[in-house]
Structure 1
């Protein structure tokens, strides 16, 4: 599960330090190489909930293995690519191929929790949070080292052994049959009971009783197409926000409205909007994920670009400067992962994000490297706390019968935040990452971190699961 889950976050950030070498090698400017980022985000934002829904319907094994195979194909294609167009195609395939790992993992964890009676496998969830979100920060460091050893093509080639490892491990260890939770042939009443149990644990998360056994579920092709049209038009606008592209927002609204109407009428919808509309805590978790990762990816891409352009560091050196973020994030996740409290983690994470963004305002072209390292280390703390808390919140709030789709949507909102940050980075930097542009981006990041703090403090449901788990632990003792 961990090996498959790291594929998407690592590939989302490893390209950050490879854009300049790729542009130089293939004669492409910054606006063209930016498609290497956007292509994966577009594919992933659409593919995550789709892969999650298919995991809910057919179990994790098939989707996991198919995704691993696509990842390997993308690695080969990118390694041998003769031009930028083929590289973009490889990133699209990579985006879809790496979508199955996270929802498959969350589905299996939820299934095993139901089978064994464990209310919250905190240790496994902590490891998954590190594998899927905190590890994204190591992408630039890994990319810099790979470029130093074998050139920019090695950032694609690294997917080949990872894909082979996933195929071998998946064939050996993933259950060939669908786990009992939501399995084909499971009665509707059993699925409803599972949903009601989750609702009892988390106020505000409604029970959902499915109208038919999962074996009769059909793929909602119309819903998927409308969802795709909604996301593609929105992300295309965010990639290049100009007045002459406002029509894309009109397409987004129209497609989104059509999607909502379709899902309300569908007997087995791609995304059950009734459940999500009534589950305010889950919607709040998605909103927090969006703004938190707007800040995180603005740092990963914006700060990294500034290190190379404004501070004149090499790709390898820039990657190493970001290493403390990864290291601190892992340590923080390991130390706090088994604590059930979510509200405290999110509040501390948001406050530290505010402080770190404020520090970016004092950086300049000649700032000492040790100060840069200190800033990146500070940013590791919220990277560890926020990702873990939001994942745990989703685990408690989502309908078990839709755990795969709900987990996929969490990643969709994560990459929506990445696209917002990408648009902001382009707006503040233009063709070159200057110190003035970094300061403007820092103000934008401060605003996003402030929104995260407000959303966290306003969500009273965050304290409920922690309190209940503490009480349950006391009764068990």
Structure 2
């Protein structure tokens, strides 16, 4: 464990040594804000079973605790990101941390599953500002200091998010052991207070890039509404993919057409489709993100539920079984994070995800704990490679004036993958998380990982990231 902590501290030391132009007082609120969403995404994994038992709800109902947060966040991230681009991060960050605290109180004292789902929706919106704010400040500080690619800080941001995503189930297991599942909501209270105080004291008061952009008339409300309608209808269908719900796809298509028409006519569109359409490398990055996240969350939610119900482990022990994933992810991220080239990381990550799907097929109710721990170690490799590589790709490929909204869209596609995984888990575990369902999930993981590998190998633009002195990829190539 000492070696792992040393790895976690390494990016901080490198920031002091290599990225000394960056305002280091921003690092703590940036990291804390960016982890609020992944901690709530991952900590719920070990809470689903005890919450279901407490309220007599089957997995199909408790799955809404996952979906509610992702629906809110998938819509909210790019919206808040665009507001960060226009008005700077401070006000959005403070409002978000306040909402996170409110959601923590509501979830802690929720009398039924419906109130818990409402708390998760509020959490989704409340945690939207952290990551776009961090990416915005990375780009702004890079321009101010003249250091174009703050690799140490990018690595720290990725490592922090990966650490929380992977250690979340273990932390949740410990909290449930100490005070029951309600503690997994109460943990948001100290985090929200710390984030609000740090944001108030350290984030800049004025907008960094567009200080004169104060008018609400600059916000493309029509585009936001069309985008929200398109995404919510699509995600609701993904969560319940039945013939009777095909009308949701029709609604999504109508909203998509309205979005395209609006954004092509707007003077300052919410999503600049002309720029995005001319930036195929960025579009490919978003596609890879969906595929990688689908596999990650199939493991995080599906495998965790199977450990508790199919393997018969307690929530605390199931969380500890996942702990080696955290160790591997940190070692891989900190070892490879400074390298500017990302294509090799993506290829290796996709290959190891293929291996993880095969391992799921070999797992059964009598699998020894030490083999499950070995499986957790393997899964940490792609978690340490793919998230970091895709984040770095967005940093280099996105329009700098839209860094907040581009980072928000990255998270949106991440949560689209999470919702696909949640839907798959519901399909393969309709009543209980048994071994037969786990094997079906393994086949699904194999297919998605294979597609990810093909998409990555065919994307020749990845070879250009890190080739030049600055590591930039041409944004309109």
Is residue 215 of structure 2 the alignment partner of residue 166 of structure 1? Answer: no
Shift of 1:430: 1.4
Match of 1:152 in 2: 181
Match of 2:124 in 1: 95
| Whole-Å separation in 1 of the counterparts to 2:375 and 2:111 | 39
Partner of 2:253: 253
Partner of 2:348: 348
> Match for residue 134 of structure 2?
105
**Cα pair distance change 1:232/1:82, threshold 3 Å:** same
Deviation track 1:91-140 (CA, whole Å, cap 9, x = no partner) reads 11100000100000000000011111112111100111122345212221
Give the Cα–Cα distance (whole angstroms) in 1 for the partners of residues 356 and 470 of structure 2. 32
Q: CA deviation at 1:216?
A: 7.9
1:249-398 equivalences in 2 (<5 Å): 249-398=249-398
Shift of 1:184: 2.4
The offset of 1:420, in angstroms, is 0.7
Instruction: Verify the 8 A CA contact 2:107 2:185 in the aligned structure 1.
Output: yes
Q: Distance in 2 between matches of 1:147 and 1:471?
A: 44
- Judge conservation of contact 1:184–1:215 (CA < 8 Å) in 2: no
Q: Distance in 1 between matches of 2:110 and 2:333?
A: 38
1:29 shift after superposition: 2.5
| Contact 1:183 1:215 (8 Å CA) reproduced | no
Q: Distance in 1 between matches of 2:340 and 2:268?
A: 34
- Cα distance between partner residues in 2 of 1:382 and 1:38: 24
CA distance in 2, matches of 1:461, 1:30: 42
After TM superposition, the structure 1 = structure 2 runs for residues 200-219 of structure 1, keeping only pairs within 5 Å, are 218-219=218-219
Distance 1:260 1:154, change over 3 A: same
Partner of 2:153: 124
Work out whether residues 237 and 248 of structure 2, in 8 Å CA contact, stay in contact via their aligned partners in 1: yes
Rounded to whole Å, the distance in 2 between the matches of 1:301 and 1:282 is 28
Give 1:281 shift.
0.2
Bigger mean CA offset, 83-92 vs 387-396: 83-92
How far apart are the structure 2 equivalents of 1:312 and 1:16? 15
How many corresponding residue pairs? 443
Note the residue ranges of structure 1 that are not aligned, 5 or more in a row. Answer: 186-212, 473-477
Distance 1:416 1:109 in 2: 25
Q: Please point out which of 164, 167, 173 is paired with 1:135.
A: 164
Q: The residue matched to 1:468 in structure 2 has which SS?
A: coil
1:183 paired residue number:
210
Shift of 1:46: 0.4
**What are the residue-to-residue correspondences of 1:411-422 with 2, within 5 Å?**
411-422=411-422
**Following the alignment from structure 1 to structure 2, what is the Cα–Cα distance between the partners of residues 130 and 41?**
21
Q: Distance in 1 between matches of 2:319 and 2:260?
A: 42
Deviations 1:161-190 (A, max 9, x none): 0000001111111111111xx3224xxxxx
> What residue number does 1:475 align with?
none
Indicate conservation of the 8 Å contact 1:72/1:164, yes or no: yes
The answer to whether the Cα contact below 8 Å between 2:149 and 2:470 also exists between their aligned partners in 1 is no
Match of 2:447 in 1: 447
Distance 2:120 2:423 in 1: 19
- TM-score (normalizing by structure 1): 0.91
Deviates more, 1:262-271 or 1:291-300: 262-271
Which range is displaced more, 109-118 or 128-137?
128-137
Q: Measured at CA, do residues 267 and 432 of structure 1 come closer, stay the same or move farther in structure 2, by a change above 3 Å?
A: same
> Counterparts of 1:407 and 1:250 in 2: how far apart (Å)?
28
Contact 1:428–1:441 under 8 Å retained in 2: yes
> How far 1:28 sits from its partner (Å)?
2.3
Aligned to 1:9: 38
1:214 CA drift (Å): 7.7
In structure 1, C-alpha distance between the alignment counterparts of 2:54 and 2:303, rounded to whole Å: 23
1:21 to 42, 47, 50: 50
Flag the 1:138–1:228 CA change in 2: closer, same or farther, 3 A: same
Shift of 1:470: 7.1
The answer to whether the 8 Å contact 2:155/2:388 transfers is yes
Match of 2:242 in 1: 242
**CA–CA distance in 1 between the matches of 2:216 and 2:189?**
36
- Separation (CA, whole Å) in 1 of partners of 2:471 and 2:83: 36
- Give the match for residue 144 of structure 2: 115
CA RMSD in angstroms, aligned pairs only: 1.4
Query: Per-residue CA shift, 1:3-45, capped at 9, x if unaligned?
Result: 1110001101111111111122223232222211111011000
CA contact (8 A) 1:134 1:383 kept: no
Pick one of 67, 84, 98 that aligns with 1:55. Answer: 84
Structure 2 residue runs of 5 or longer lacking an equivalent are 1-29, 473-477
- Asked if structure 2 preserves the Cα contact closer than 8 Å seen for 1:102 and 1:132, the reply is no
1:192 alignment counterpart? none
C-alpha contact (below 8 Å) 2:428/2:440 kept by paired residues: yes
* Aligned residues of 1:35 and 1:88 also touching (Cα < 8 A): yes
